[in-house]
Amino acid sequence: MPLDFPSLPFRLALNPGATPRAAYGKRQAAVLDGAGLAEARRCISAWPGYAPTPLIDLPGLAAELGIGVLHYKQEAERFGLRSFKPLGGAYAVQRCLMREVALRTGRDDIAPREILNGAHAGIVSGVTVTAATDGNHGRSVAWGARMFGCRCVIYINEAVSRAREQAIAAYGAEVRRHAGSFDDAVRQAFETARREGWHVIPDTTDGEVIEAPRDVTQGYAVMAAETIEQLPGAARPTHVFLQAGVGGMAAAVCAEFWRAFGADRPMTILVEPEQAACWFASLANRRPTPVTGEVDSFMGGLACGEISRLAWEILEPGAHAAMTLADAAAEAAMRLLAEGRGDDPPLVAGESGIAGLAGLITAASDGEARHCLDLDSSARVLVIGSEGATDEAMYRRVVGRPWQEVAA
């Protein structure tokens, strides 16, 4: 294999439900639409420290993979949280507080700036938001709660590292560790919220709670819109490899490229850990299919056994293929990215943020996969580096150097 990348087992399958020539329809617009994107951009661009994250070309790695262009959207320094997640969780907190203030005041014209500048601090301070997380989403919700002035309680499962727990608590949230998996923590957050009258800010939904997860996904779409605007000229990508946990980020990126390019949108390939391949199973079965058993993965943010039903509305017809990876593929890709290939800059990516690139390298290194996905020298590929070193000790263990040295 090129790059001395380890030869590891993987699975790849085309999506039998894909409709690559279809227009972006009412079913998809009910989840993400242009008006929702405009509102999200208006809110988020007013936050302190907002700036589009860079889109970086990696010609050295592209050449070694035998593709034409490789674009890497670098989310490692978004709002200082080292992840794209603030775009979703914190935005959903702001929207939740706008609804609550409207309910309490009888007004239907609450502006985002009223929440941001503390105009309703008396109401907001009495609100509690909660979420379940493997780390990054909870950190985003906690960051947003601190920025807007409400209370925050975050549930984590037993596999979440102490470093990630401390990173969440640093933003003033109460962190509660719950036995079991991520999905168990999600259920606990919902149960407690119903009992206590709290507001859940999930990044997933089983179809019952819609508003907050839609806001989360709409916030993620801001990242996709930035990316489209940063592409050179009219050179749209031919392929997008997207890590998929519950599917919110993947749905947001797929939706925005679908809205922008229609039938000429790029081929979208979802990438998951082998042991948590809920999208692989769901697309194959043509229905949402939970994965049972042990789903914990080195790619912690993707260790999800159940998909988001909102994301399903977009990805069931919108994703072209799905693939699964061994954990070791993500580790190898982290090290490779930190090296820099040719004249490419060394880049920092965390365990979950690297999965899309690891999927590309794996597929490009396999003859059958290359043929299946039409990966050739004319391919223009986009991957999302959705997180940096969110667990510094883990990053150093895998890469062999502190992230600050790689990023210097």
Active site residues: 85, 134
Pick from 306, 283, 309: nearest CA to 295:
306
Residue 405 and residue 336: Cα distance in Å, rounded?
15
Strand 11-14, strand 321-325: pairing: antiparallel
Helix %, strand %, coil % of the chain (to 5) = 50, 15, 40
CA distances from 369 to 10, 278, 283, 363 (A): 10, 20, 18, 5
Pick from 122, 138, 119, 127: nearest CA to 97:
127
Q: Which residues contact 206 (CB under 8 A, 6 or more apart)?
A: 306, 309
CA distances from 11 to 65, 87, 277, 381 (A): 19, 31, 10, 20
Q: Which two tokens stand for residue 89?
A: 């969780």
**Identity of residue 129:** V
